[in-house]
């Protein structure tokens, strides 16, 4: 009976997934979602991947990392460089693979020494790492220095973005609800106790960090092909803070919170487009307000699920009757 119920939910989710896939696709084809909105939609998708990936590091294992844009730029440049000679989907896959590989190595090299640091010190160290990556890219010839790479082949489509976001979300959810996710949460809660319970704290922290960094690289690759231009200045501290805002807004530890926050930020961005740098001021204001009124973020640690929504509705019904 319970397994039947499980399958029913799975089926329902799958159906919902397909409806959104084809529904949005039809809307795009019918130009109800015009190219401008479509671009915003893709931006939200990229922010979703970035949000859940940073949430793995900050929300689950409690390591404040401010170098996320650096890892994103690795993926972006990898895709940009490969797409120059291989301007098709296979090239994009190759670029994503290359980005994954490089970010894996860089993240490992960064994680092992820096994750011994705690709190503010770790934040500063990772901030430095992000800057180092940016400056290295700025000074390499293959990345074309300060002018960056432009005219990247645009291969982004709704089904591609939707599939990638779904993959990222499913993988991070699986990580969260496994022994790795539990161990990571326990480290965030009390590192000393976690280590005393037989958890190899360093290993879990490094794993979460590498996993998060690699997902950021994927988001970067998608960014490159969506906006067909990458420049070093794009991936500075502003970008890292932007991702952090999504995580904090949605709730540290809540992946679905990050998804909702990415949508929210995307929409706010759309309305504030004309204000330019003023946006940062409004972001800051939003962050301060969240910290005052809902320090745990939109969803805290919880996830949005069919069950939780159902139970909410049932509760409401009970109250009514």
What residues make contact with other proteins under the rule CB under 8 A?
A: 171, 174-175, 178-180, 182-183, 185-186, 189-190, 192-201, 207, 301
Minimum CB distance to other proteins smaller for 105 or for 289: 105
Query: Phi then psi for 92, rounded to 5 degrees?
Result: -60, -45
Task: Work out how close the CB of 183 gets to other proteins at its nearest, in angstroms, rounded to a whole number.
Answer: 5
User: Which tokens hold the place of 122?
Assistant: 């770790």
Q: Which residue stretches of 157-277 are H helix? A: 158-176, 179-189, 191-196, 201-227, 237-250, 255-271
Cα torsion 173, 259, 155, 225 to 10°: value is: -100
What are the distances in angstroms from CA 217 to CA 16, 51, 131, 220, 277?
A: 28, 12, 16, 5, 26
* Least distance in angstroms from the C-beta of 198 to other proteins: 4
The least CB distance from residue 311 to other proteins, in Å, is 13
- Closer of 66 and 164 to other proteins (Cβ): 164
CA distance 48 to 278: 23
Per-residue burial over 161-173, b = 16 or more CB atoms within 10 Å of its CB, e = otherwise: bbebbeebbebbb
**Smallest gap, in angstroms, from Cβ of residue 161 to other proteins?**
21
Helix runs in 30-145, H state only: 35-55, 68-85, 89-114, 119-138
Q: Does residue 299 sit in helix, strand or coil?
A: coil
- Nearer CB in complex with other proteins: 147/178: 178
Per the CB < 8 A criterion, the answer to whether 94 and 155 are in contact is no
Q: 183 or 218, CB closer to other proteins?
A: 183
- Supply the minimum distance, in Å, between the C-beta of residue 293 and other proteins: 19
Residue (87 or 300) nearer to other proteins, CB: 300
Token pair in block for residue 59: 């929300």
- Our CB check for other proteins shows the closer of 84 and 182 to be 182
Cβ proximity to other proteins, 52 vs 149, nearer residue: 52
Q: Smallest distance from the beta carbon of 191 to other proteins, in angstroms? A: 10
Indicate the helix (H) or strand (E) that contains 11: helix 2-29
Rounded least distance, CB 90 to other proteins, Å? 23
Residue matched to tokens 């400056």: 135
Among 272, 271, 280, residue whose Cα is nearest residue 236: 280
Nearer to other proteins among residue 140 and residue 170 (C-beta):
170
For the bound state, the minimum distance from the C-beta of residue 192 to other proteins, rounded and expressed in Å, comes to 7
Cβ-contact 119, 60 below 8 angstroms = no
Cβ atoms of 215 and 65 within 8 Å: the answer is: no
């Amino acid at each position: 009976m319970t397994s039947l119920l499980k399958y029913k939910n799975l089926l329902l989710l799958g159906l919902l997934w397909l409806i959104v896939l084809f529904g949005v696709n039809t809307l795009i084809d019918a130009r109800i979602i015009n190219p401008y909105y479509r671009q915003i939609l893709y931006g939200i998708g990229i922010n979703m991947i970035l949000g859940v990936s940073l949430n793995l590091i900050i929300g689950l294992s409690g390591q404040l990392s401010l170098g996320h844009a650096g890892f994103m730029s690795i993926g972006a440049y990898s895709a940009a460089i490969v797409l120059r000679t291989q301007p098709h989907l296979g090239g994009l896959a190759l670029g994503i693979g290359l980005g994954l590989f490089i970010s894996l190595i860089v993240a490992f090299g960064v994680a092992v020494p820096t994750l011994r640091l705690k709190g503010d010190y770790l934040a500063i160290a990772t901030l430095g790492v992000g800057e180092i990556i940016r400056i290295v890219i700025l000074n390499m010839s293959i990345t074309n220095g300060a002018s960056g790479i432009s005219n990247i082949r645009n291969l982004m489509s709704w089904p591609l973005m939707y599939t990638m976001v779904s993959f990222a979300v499913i993988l991070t959810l699986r990580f969260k609800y496994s022994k790795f996710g539990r161990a990571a949460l326990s480290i965030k809660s009390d590192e000393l106790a976690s280590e005393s319970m037989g958890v190899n704290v360093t290993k879990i922290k490094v794993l979460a960090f590498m996993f998060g960094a690699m997902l950021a690289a994927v988001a970067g690759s998608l960014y490159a092909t969506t906006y067909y231009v990458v420049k070093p200045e794009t991936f500075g501290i502003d970008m890292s803070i932007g991702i952090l805002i999504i995580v904090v807004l949605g709730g540290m530890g809540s992946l679905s919170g990050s998804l909702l926050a990415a949508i929210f930020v995307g929409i706010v961005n759309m309305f504030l487009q004309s204000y330019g740098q003023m946006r940062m001021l409004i972001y800051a204001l939003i962050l301060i307000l969240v910290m005052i009124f809902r320090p745990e973020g939109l969803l805290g640690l919880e996830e949005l699920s069919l069950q939780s929504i159902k139970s909410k509705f049932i509760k409401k019904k009970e109250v009514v009757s």
